[in-house]
């Protein structure tokens, strides 16, 4: 256990210290504002305040963890060492040169997303406005790297102290935005598809559509047996997020009124975890969010504890506040649709801190690092090039024994259309994780 002396125990301070000490460094932590108690303590201890008391392990604090609300904070990025950016300089007397607790809080609570910014076409926080993108560390779980650097300093100061290293973990997630590309689409959508295929001279698609609809050929996007097979073979935690909304410009999955689609979801719940891929307009509409969660609960006959926002449309803190009100326990939307990397600069699941109410909430956020849509449709990489990028991010997480979360789509395994040649990528990722 480590005892932390500070001049003020605030919600922000306890939140980030517990995250770094308990969830990353596997070390219990307690706090005190009493100098006498701190001096008398014979175990591992540190001083987090403005001035040192003696020659104890001291980190000079900046003001962020003792403030409330959103303020215009000015700071500059510099290097702790080559290739390791950091901010909030702590001064010469500090045992480490930066206040990593305040910096970690700034990144994880998504402070910058509360500040004025230009939204993208889908009303999302743009990656170009992020500190990580602008300073070249989006591809690094910086909070976890800082924590391990901090651990090295603790070991040097307290060489007799033993630390239990946490274990690396992997979570595989799939978005099911289109369970079938041709099947169960209804007469109007199917006829429209035939016309589109015919006039775009996509004769192969025209033929495939006929073969699927007359049940001679399996729908290319029906890759669910393969997902189950790989889940059984590799035994990694797997979550499928099904989109069950009404049809709209941005939500074009199979109608939930289709019995076969409901049976698919129910049958998959026997093998993997099921979450709700909340539709495009739920970002601002709690009643619609509630309706979709209730529909999913009626299908799987159990409360929906995991959710993800379709097209990653989250607006902080409102979207998360709605999820909390509806008793959703885990969110998997923390990432960008057009860039790889770590939106919250961490590869450790964390509880969302609500800056509106200055509290740690019960909603646990699972940040993902890899998105197959980004690899294929945005970066336009080949499957081989994609695996290289995935491995780079995987090793970043592995080096800090974090949680590697990937976001794929069921069509990745189809070997069809834009996914031609990509079918083996997922298996290669599973092999990479298992063999290392």
Q: What does DSSP assign to residue 375?
A: I
> What is the CB-side half-sphere exposure of residue 362 using CA atoms within 13 A?
10
- Position 194 scores a pLDDT of 40
Residues in the chain with pLDDT < 50?
187-195, 197-198, 201
> Roughly what angle, to the nearest 10 degrees, separates helices 186-199 and 203-213?
150
Of 326, 329, 259, 265, give the one whose Cα is nearest residue 301.
265
- Position 206 scores a pLDDT of 54
Tokens representing 338?
Answer: 């057009």
Rounded Cα–Cα distance for residues 426 and 434 (Å)? 12
Other CB atoms within 10 Å distance of the CB of residue 251: 20
* SS3 at position 316: coil
Cβ pair 160, 103 in contact under 8 A: no
Contacts of 124-127 with CB under 8 Å at 24 or more apart are: 124/311, 124/312, 124/313, 124/314, 124/315, 124/337, 125/315, 125/316, 127/336, 127/338, 127/339, 127/343
* Beta carbons within 8 Å of 115's beta carbon, 6+ residues apart: 70, 72
Alpha helices in 242-317 (DSSP H): 259-268, 286-300
List, in sequence order, every residue forming a beta bridge with 174; answer none if it has no partner. 240, 408
Of 277, 194, 281, give the one whose Cα is nearest residue 239.
277
CA-CA-CA-CA torsion for 99, 102, 104, 107, nearest 10 degrees? -130
* Beta carbons within 8 Å of 428's beta carbon, 6+ residues apart: 387
pTM here is 0.93
Rounded Cα–Cα distance for residues 47 and 42 (Å)? 14
CA separation (Å) from 419 to 177, 197, 391? Answer: 15, 18, 20
Cβ pair 399, 409 in contact under 8 A: no
Rounded Cα–Cα distance for residues 354 and 110 (Å)? 10
List, in sequence order, every residue forming a beta bridge with 98; answer none if it has no partner. 89
Tokens representing 99?
Answer: 């206040």
Domain boundaries, the chain: 2-157, 169-179+221-435, 182-218
Rounded Cα–Cα distance for residues 430 and 233 (Å)? 10
Other CB atoms within 10 Å distance of the CB of residue 307: 24
Query: What count of residues does the chain have?
Result: 436
- Position 198 scores a pLDDT of 47
Residue tagged 């939140």 (tokens): 15
Cβ pair 386, 425 in contact under 8 A: yes
* Beta carbons within 8 Å of 398's beta carbon, 6+ residues apart: 168, 404, 436
- Position 188 scores a pLDDT of 45
Of 114, 143, 24, 16, give the one whose Cα is nearest residue 321.
114
* SS3 at position 362: strand
Rounded Cα–Cα distance for residues 369 and 139 (Å)? 8
> Roughly what angle, to the nearest 10 degrees, separates helices 259-268 and 224-234?
0
Identify the CATH number of the domain defined by range 169-179+221-435.
3.20.20.370
């Amino acid at each position: 256990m480590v005892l932390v002396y500070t001049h003020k125990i605030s919600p922000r301070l306890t939140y980030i210290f517990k995250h770094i000490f308990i969830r990353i460094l596997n070390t219990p932590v307690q706090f005190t504002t009493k100098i006498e108690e701190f001096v008398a303590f014979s175990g591992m201890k540190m001083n987090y305040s403005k001035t040192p008391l003696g020659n104890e392990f001291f980190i000079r604090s900046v003001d962020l963890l003792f403030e409330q609300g959103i303020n215009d904070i000015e700071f500059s990025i510099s290097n702790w060492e080559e290739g390791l950016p950091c901010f909030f300089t702590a001064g010469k007397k500090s045992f480490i040169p930066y206040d990593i607790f305040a910096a970690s809080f700034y990144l994880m609570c998504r402070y910058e997303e509360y500040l004025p910014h230009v939204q993208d076409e889908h009303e999302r926080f743009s990656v170009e406005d992020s500190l990580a993108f602008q300073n070249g560390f989006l591809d690094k779980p910086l909070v976890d790297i800082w924590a391990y650097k901090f651990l090295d300093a603790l070991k040097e100061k307290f060489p007799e102290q033993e630390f239990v290293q946490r274990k690396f973990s992997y979570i595989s997630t799939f978005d099911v935005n289109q369970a079938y590309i041709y099947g169960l689409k209804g007469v109007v959508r199917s006829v429209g598809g035939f016309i589109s295929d015919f006039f775009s001279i996509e004769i192969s698609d025209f033929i495939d559509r006929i073969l699927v609809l007359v049940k001679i050929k399996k729908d290319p996007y029906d890759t669910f047996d393969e997902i189950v097979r790989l889940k059984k073979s590799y035994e990694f935690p797997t979550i499928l997020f099904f989109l069950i909304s009404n049809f709209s410009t941005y939500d074009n999955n199979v109608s939930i009124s289709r019995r076969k689609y409901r049976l698919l979801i129910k049958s998959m719940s026997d093998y993997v975890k099921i979450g709700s891929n909340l539709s495009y307009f739920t970002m601002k509409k709690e009643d619609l969010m509630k309706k979709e969660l209730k529909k999913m609960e009626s299908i799987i006959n159990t409360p929906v504890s995991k959710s993800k926002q379709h097209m990653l449309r989250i607006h902080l803190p409102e979207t998360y506040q709605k999820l909390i009100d509806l008793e959703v326990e885990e969110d998997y939307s923390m990432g960008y649709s057009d860039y790889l990397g770590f939106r919250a600069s961490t590869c450790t699941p964390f509880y969302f801190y609500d800056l509106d109410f200055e509290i740690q909430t019960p909603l646990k956020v699972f940040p993902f690092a890899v998105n197959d849509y980004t690899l294929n449709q945005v970066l336009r990489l080949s499957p081989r090039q994609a695996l290289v990028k995935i491995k780079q991010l995987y090793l970043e997480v592995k080096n800090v024994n974090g949680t590697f979360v990937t976001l794929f789509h069921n069509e990745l395994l189809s070997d069809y259309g834009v996914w031609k040649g990509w079918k083996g990528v997922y298996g290669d990722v599973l092999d990479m994780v298992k063999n290392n």
